[in-house]
Amino acid sequence: MGAVVTPTKTLYERVDELIQRQGESWPLRHSTTTHDAIAGLISRSHVLEEAIREMALEIQKLAAEHEKLEAHTLGD
């Protein structure tokens, strides 16, 4: 069994960094072309998907740790 890895940044900080990557090009301006607007929305969608995956992974890790703890507690 591997060692528990403690991230140096909180989940909030990691997700916020992912989302902030898009901050410079958002919100769209009235002069933004349709092509650029669509490309920006696609890019933003990808970043949000990555943030959701990051959160899901953390939730999965917490659930696994909880199950181990619960099994250990029931075993005593």
The pLDDT value given to residue 56: 92
Q: Locate 11 and state its tokens.
A: 């989940």
Q: Which of 1-5, 54-58, 60-64 bottoms out in mean pLDDT, i.e. has the lowest? A: 1-5
Give the pLDDT confidence of 2-32 residue by residue, as tens digits: 444 455 788 888 888 878 866 666 677 788 8
Q: Indicate whether 73 pLDDT > 90.
A: no
Q: How do the domains of the chain map onto residue ranges?
A: 11-25+32-75
SS3 string, the chain, reads CCCCCCCCCCHHHHHHHHHHCCHHHCCCCCCCCHHHHHHHHHHHHHHHHHHHHHHHHHHHHHHHHHHHHHHHHHHC
- pTM to 2 decimal places: 0.67
